[in-house]
Amino acid sequence: MAQKDPGRLAVLQKIDQLERKRLWSHDVEQDPPTIPLEPDQIDYTRSKLSSKFKTWVANIVGTKFIAGLFKNKQLIIKDVVGMENFFAVKDKGLIVTCNHFNAFDNFAVLEILKPYTRHHIIWRVIREGNYTSFPGLYGFLFRNCNTLPVSQNHSTMKKFFEGMKTLLARGEKILVYAEQGMWWNYRKPRPMTNGAFKFAVDNKVPVLPIFITMTDSDIIGADGFPIQEYTMNVLPAIFADPNKSDKQNIRDMNEQNYKAWVDCYEKFYGKKLEYLPEEK
């Protein structure tokens, strides 16, 4: 039996601690220090010729990288449920939410949606440090594979919101991890921050919730843990109520998304959602 990686065991222990403290959005991974992103360092809509070229190259490299993950069984999609919910809104700009538990889970979302988006692209909102601080291949992909980094710089965030407005208006789909921090192999839905729902309300587009459920495969990864087999659950889109204020819609859409995820979790795993006892 393969020995389980001590680093992964430490991450699982930290996740337990954060769950008990109800610190749902906190990071558990040791990511590189965040380098601030200046407004002149990012072309959010990739409209410049140099940006288009880098994105073209990055998407070729990224497509081959993702294909390798599937071929080598490092990423396994066992089933896809509910694609009719995507088809119902596929011609609109969309905010897509998904639970975040693996560095590659966005590739699974890309894999199921990309064949049906025609000339549109799946964009991803990412943390600032992922864009500015990662070296090597991952850094190149983070910077150029249709990513939308948030920033601590006010001027950069102004460009971020302008870019998002342009993309959604032309019908693009934008993946937002409303849970924020990645909790490795965590199967439960977490309460979400409001950002994704504010993006949707501000731009008058629906939210498409996706919840990925998992089962252990019979393949043991290099970290000593079973590779997970994903069931991609595409849930009904959530729309703002025109009779409510923006603030109320943001709150209500968040709650509807969370409830949809909880219902999906309980149906798939056949048990009620329960968190570890809370510690103050």
From the list 152, 97, 90, the residue with the least C-alpha distance to 119 is 90
Across the chain, the runs of DSSP E, i.e. the strands, are 76-81, 94-98, 122-126, 147-149, 173-176, 207-220, 226-234
What is residue 236's predicted lDDT score, i.e. its pLDDT? 99
Q: What is the pLDDT of residues 199-247, one digit of tens each?
A: 999 999 999 999 999 999 999 999 999 999 999 999 999 999 999 999 9
pLDDT tens-digit map of 157-215: 999 999 999 999 999 999 999 999 999 999 999 999 999 999 999 999 999 999 999 99
Residue 118 has pLDDT above 80, yes or no: no
226 Cα distance to chain centroid: 22
Looking at residue 128, what is its pLDDT? Answer: 86
pLDDT higher than threshold 70 for residue 1? no
- Cβ-contact 212, 233 below 8 angstroms: yes
Q: What is the pTM of this model?
A: 0.94
Q: Domains, the chain, ranges and CATH?
A: 6-269 (3.40.1130)
